[in-house]
Structure 1
Amino acid sequence: MTAVETDWRVVWAATLDLMEADVAAAEALLSHDRTVRALPPASFTAPAGMGPLPLELRPRADAVLARQLAVAEALVVAMAATAKQAAMLGRIEDAGQAPARPGYLDCAL
């Protein structure tokens, strides 16, 4: 392995570490969906001059990608549920504005 290939491997390994930390943070937020947290958005910029992905890191990169795709899908589901809840709350009337009528709010969502 040449010095350049070693440098690429180190940079790729560090980059995958950052990507794994980001996806782990997103997974943690989704697992605690009833807890409100104010986290600053994380930005990711790939380091310059990374070179090609070393073959021995391909399985790890594939695993990170699979986790990212799963989190993205879970976020879509969570956003749809939030939109549904917001629409339901928008239909609930204030008791002082109109005659009371029966309503149902499923707090389990």
Structure 2
Amino acid sequence: MAAPSPQAGNWSAAWSAALDALEMDVAAVEEMLAGDHRDRDLQSSDAWSPPEDIGPLPLDLRPRADAILARQLAAAQALAMAMVGNRRQAAMLARVESGNDGGNRPVYVNYAA
């Protein structure tokens, strides 16, 4: 769907639609973090770029754009923390499965012979 041109006087609606798309992307990440997609495959989202020829962001939409940005930053931080937690859990699982915690293993020598 092509964005309306600013010449049509509908640039506010075009920006509103662009913000809708951003908001849906961040909502998908938030749902994933909440565990709503554990049993489903997630589709990868395309990188966002502002639609062409819609003009500058209208001032009345700035608070909404700022709120979406704050949500994106919070979701990115939560994703990073989840990845760190997953790496720690995988490392712990590897130690449990192998019986190796990375330290020296005790050695017993039989001197009775």
Q: Same fold (TM over 0.5)?
A: yes
Instruction: Please state if 1:14 is matched with 2:21.
Output: no
Listed one character per residue, the Cα deviations across residues 31-71 of structure 1 (whole Å, up to 9, x for unaligned) are 11782431111113421112110001001101100111110
Unaligned runs of 5+ in 2: 1-5, 100-113
Question: Which residue number in structure 1 is paired with residue 94 of structure 2?
Answer: 90
Unaligned runs of 5+ in 1: 96-109
CA shift in 2, pair 1:49/1:34, >3 Å: closer
Q: What amino acid maps onto 1:27 in structure 2?
A: E
Asked whether the 8 Å contact 2:23–2:68 carries over to 1, the reply is yes
* CA radius of gyration, larger in: 2
Cα distance, 1:5 vs structure 2 = 7.6
Counterparts of 1:38 and 1:25, CA distance in 2 = 12
After TM superposition, the structure 1 stretch with the greater mean CA deviation from structure 2, 31-40 or 63-72, is 31-40
- Deviation above 6 Å: which 4+ runs of structure 1? none
Q: Give matches, 1:1-109, under 5 Å.
A: 4=7, 6-32=9-35, 35-43=38-46, 44-93=48-97
Asked whether the 8 Å contact 2:31–2:37 carries over to 1, the reply is no
Q: What amino acid maps onto 1:86 in structure 2?
A: A
Counterparts of 1:4 and 1:80, CA distance in 2 = 48
After TM superposition, the structure 1 stretch with the greater mean CA deviation from structure 2, 63-72 or 3-12, is 3-12
SS in 1 for 2:75: helix
Q: How many pairs align?
A: 93
